[in-house]
């Protein structure tokens, strides 16, 4: 199954998004949070993201969702460093993208399909 | 320049960042999230601790960059980590760095930052200091200027570039959410980039 990593500046935000995504991934989706810095404060830690990536990686690829700023830069840098084509950053809003990715991953879909599902969340309007 | 000079640069940059941490944080508090000086100080301290013995100049910068990525905490971690690692990679395994090699390393650093952050000149970011520095270095080199003179030209251009960010409207990062309210403040990343190039100019001038 394709794994999902939630990268946020906040430990509690990452955990909360992961909780929601797992629930909507009907308890099957593998969603690992990587939030905050190493001391639990606000920030981004590439070490925490690497740990979460390893935990989410079941061999079928991993989709990364990031909140903003340094989370996005850290995700991109990690992908470049790992030199892997089975780890993809989704260009998507964090909560909606995570829920979409987890829902699709739970069906057993492949990496490209889960990634596309996450990115499709960008176009879901909430008003108007 | 050799490995010892590049290590001296990282140490001197760490000193300047530490001495200026409060000012950088104050700049960041105006339009960013108010942690730039603090973050960069932590990152550069880690870089100094990570400096290897007996490694060529390129490896010195790569080791420092790695430490900055892992310890800095904000967007400046991946960005300055990229600056040092890309510059280090460009230098390869050579023991001596001449003006042309240093200019190419700075250009590689700029390219890396732009690939990662997608910023262009005028976005009110570190690119507004780094891009003119790279251009000034190349121009000085083409005029036959020696290494120290090239780095001095780059440092001066970076300082001018940082000053020029004051009236700009931010198009990247947290400051971009502020729209016209981001005008009238110097970009902290451009300011710290100017600081790092000033440190390089001082070290190159002594060699």
CB burial string A78-116: b at 16+ within 10 A, e below: bbeeeeeeebbbbebbbbbbbbbbbbbbbeebebeebbb
Distance CA B34, CA B161 (A): 21
Domains assigned to chain B: 3-206 (1.25.40.340)
ipTM of the complex: 0.84
Distance to chain B for A58, nearest Cα, Å: 25
B-chain residues near A43 (CB < 8 A): 39, 73-74
Q: Residue A63: beta bridge partners?
A: A4, A88
Distance from CA of B99 to the nearest CA of A (A): 28
What is the topology classification, in CATH, of domain A3-105? Rossmann fold (3.40.50)
Q: Which residues of chain B are modeled with pLDDT < 50?
A: none
Give pLDDT tens digits along chain A (128 positions). Answer: 999 999 999 999 999 999 999 999 998 999 999 999 888 889 899 999 999 999 999 999 999 999 999 999 999 999 988 889 999 999 999 999 999 999 999 999 999 999 999 999 998 888 87
**Are the Cβ atoms of A69 and B78 closer than 8 angstroms?**
no
Interface contact B77-A74, CB threshold 8 A: yes
- Domain residue spans of chain A: 3-105
Q: What is the pLDDT of residue B207?
A: 57
């Amino acid at each position: 199954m394709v794994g999902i990593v939630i990268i946020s500046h906040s430990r509690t935000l990452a955990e909360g998004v992961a909780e929601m995504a797992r629930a909507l991934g009907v308890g099957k989706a593998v969603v690992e949070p990587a939030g905050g810095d190493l001391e639990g404060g606000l920030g981004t830690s590439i070490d925490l993201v690497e740990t979460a990536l390893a935990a989410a990686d079941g061999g079928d690829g991993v989709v990364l969702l990031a909140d903003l700023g340094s989370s996005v830069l850290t995700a991109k840098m990690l992908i470049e460093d790992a030199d892997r084509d089975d780890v993809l950053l989704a260009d998507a809003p964090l909560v909606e993208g995570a829920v979409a990715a987890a829902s699709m991953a739970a069906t057993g879909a492949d990496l490209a399909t889960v990634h596309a599902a996450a990115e499709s969340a960008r176009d879901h309007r909430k008003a108007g | 320049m050799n490995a010892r000079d590049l290590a001296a640069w990282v140490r001197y940059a760490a000193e300047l960042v530490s001495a200026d941490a409060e000012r950088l944080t104050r700049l960041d508090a105006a339009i960013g999230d108010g942690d730039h000086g603090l973050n960069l100080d932590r990152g550069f301290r880690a870089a100094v601790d990570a400096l290897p013995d007996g490694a060529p100049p390129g490896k010195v910068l790569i080791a420092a960059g790695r430490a900055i990525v892992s310890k800095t905490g904000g967007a400046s971690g991946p960005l300055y980590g990229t600056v040092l690692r890309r510059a280090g990679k460009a230098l390869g395994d050579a023991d001596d760095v001449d003006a042309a090699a240093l200019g190419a390393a700075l250009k590689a650093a700029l390219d890396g930052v732009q690939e990662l952050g997608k910023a262009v000149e005028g976005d009110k970011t570190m690119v507004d200091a780094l891009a003119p520095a790279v251009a000034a270095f190349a121009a000085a080199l083409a005029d036959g200027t020696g290494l120290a003179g090239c780095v001095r030209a780059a440092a001066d251009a970076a300082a001018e570039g940082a000053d020029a960010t004051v009236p700009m409207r931010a198009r990247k990062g947290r400051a971009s959410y502020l729209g016209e309210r981001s005008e009238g403040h110097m970009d902290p990343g451009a300011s710290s980039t100017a600081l790092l190039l000033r440190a390089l100019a001082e070290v190159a001038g002594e060699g």
